[in-house]
């Protein structure tokens, strides 16, 4: 059995185990519900256009504004419709707007004479969207890499605790074990994100947010390769961290560098997303580029060549961390007599597999 076949075998085993895990299934369902609720509910909860009672003489501009108009005989009937709560507001002679507590803004706007407006920056991103998009990109990468990374580390520790690893390394090369876990984690993570993205896209279409989807499409397209390479980089670190530990209780101690590599870029992108210089630097650093570069593409701050350069840097970094993680993984996997130091695992690699 060559390394490719062994890697595929290990990945298939990891995937089968994970898709039977209730925690994984419930977690995926939870994120799908959040994606659906976040895209479908806001337009629904915002309500439709106001209902207005008015005579036929003033109904035309209200209908032109998209309001639901209920034609009444006179002003008294219009006022009574408001008092009976049959409509949100009424328009009477004057014109004047009648309402029980507060006149709907869309009714007032329909009767107002608006000046000509010239937008000096028509392509500017809405401030709310400009805040939410970096948070969503960073949150998705942070949660996914954290969740699946911890699961990879726990899987490695479990195999060491139960001594199953001794049987596994007798059947497949050690590097195939590491590669299989990284491949399986990447496939599961990408599949989960793809499902969430599909639900979000459908929700945007239902919620009539097609314009936002058009703006996000290029950034999402670039986010996919950046996410995959960034995940490989971090997954190799998580697997190496798991191999250094000998008990599940030790995972927090050995994974501190990995935790920092995940958390610091997350907060940097969130808090520095309006700083052009900081975002330019973050878009080339391997740990932050999976979120920073797609964000710069969304805001239009990145030149056409920049994502290619950033992606090459991330690819080289992922390959380097995969090689380094493999060495640490090999040097500590069969050491079951306590926690292994990084120095020991690096310098005294076991000649196994």
Over the stretch 2-27, which tens digit does the pLDDT of each residue have?
777 888 888 888 888 888 878 778 87
pLDDT at 312: 94
Identify the H or E element spanning 96.
Answer: strand 96-98
Q: Report the alpha-carbon distance of residue 256 to residue 60 in Å, rounded.
A: 66
pLDDT at 120: 47
pLDDT at 109: 66
Q: Domain coordinates of the chain in residue numbers?
A: 3-42+125-346, 51-103
- Mean pLDDT for 160-179 is 75
Res. 341: pLDDT tops 90:
no
Paired tokens of 286: 């391997």
- Mean pLDDT for 71-89 is 80
- Mean pLDDT for 247-255 is 77
Report the DSSP beta bridge partners of residue 90.
Answer: 53, 98
pLDDT at 213: 61
pLDDT at 41: 61
> Which one is predicted more confidently, 108 or 286?
286
- pLDDT classification of 311: cutoffs 50, 70, 90: very high
- pLDDT classification of 315: cutoffs 50, 70, 90: very high
Q: Give every CB contact of residue 207 below 8 A, 6+ residues apart in sequence.
A: 39, 40, 42, 43, 44
Cβ atoms of residues 261 and 172 within 8 Å: no
Res. 215: pLDDT tops 80:
no
**Mean pLDDT of the chain, nearest integer:** 76
Specify whether the backbone of 60 is left (phi greater than 0), alpha (psi in -120 to 50) or beta.
alpha
């Amino acid at each position: 059995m060559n390394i490719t076949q062994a890697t595929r075998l290990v990945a298939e085993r990891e995937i089968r185990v994970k898709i039977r895990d209730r925690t994984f299934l419930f977690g995926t369902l939870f994120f799908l519900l959040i994606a659906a609720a976040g895209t479908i509910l806001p337009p629904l909860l915002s309500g439709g256009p106001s209902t207005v009672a008015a005579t036929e003489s003033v109904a035309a501009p209200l209908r032109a504004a998209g309001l639901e108009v209920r034609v009444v005989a006179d002003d008294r009937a219009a006022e009574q419709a408001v008092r009976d709560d049959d409509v949100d507001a009424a328009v009477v002679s004057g014109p004047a707007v009648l309402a029980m507590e507060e006149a709907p803004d869309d009714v007032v706007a329909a009767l107002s004479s608006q000046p000509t407006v010239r937008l000096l920056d028509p392509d500017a991103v809405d401030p709310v969207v400009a805040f939410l998009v970096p948070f969503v990109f960073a949150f998705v990468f942070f949660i996914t890499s954290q969740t699946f990374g911890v699961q990879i580390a726990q899987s490695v520790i479990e195999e060491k605790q139960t001594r199953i690893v001794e049987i596994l390394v007798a059947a497949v090369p050690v590097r195939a074990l590491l590669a299989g876990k990284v491949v399986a984690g990447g496939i599961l993570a990408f599949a989960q994100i793809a499902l969430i993205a599909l639900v979000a896209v459908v929700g945007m279409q239902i919620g009539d947010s097609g314009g936002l989807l058009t703006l996000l499409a290029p950034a999402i397209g670039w986010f996919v390769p950046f996410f995959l390479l960034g995940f490989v980089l971090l997954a190799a670190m998580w697997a190496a961290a798991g191999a250094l530990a000998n008990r599940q209780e030790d995972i927090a101690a050995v994974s501190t560098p990995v935790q920092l590599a995940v958390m610091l870029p997350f907060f940097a992108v969130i808090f520095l997303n309006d700083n052009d210089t900081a975002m330019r630097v973050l878009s080339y650093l391997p740990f932050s580029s999976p979120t920073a570069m797609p964000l710069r593409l969304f805001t239009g701050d990145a030149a056409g060549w920049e994502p290619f350069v950033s992606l090459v840097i991330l690819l080289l970094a992922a390959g380097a961390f995969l090689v380094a993680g493999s060495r640490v993984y090999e040097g500590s996997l069969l050491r079951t007599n306590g926690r292994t130091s990084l120095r020991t695992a690096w310098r005294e690699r076991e000649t196994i597999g």
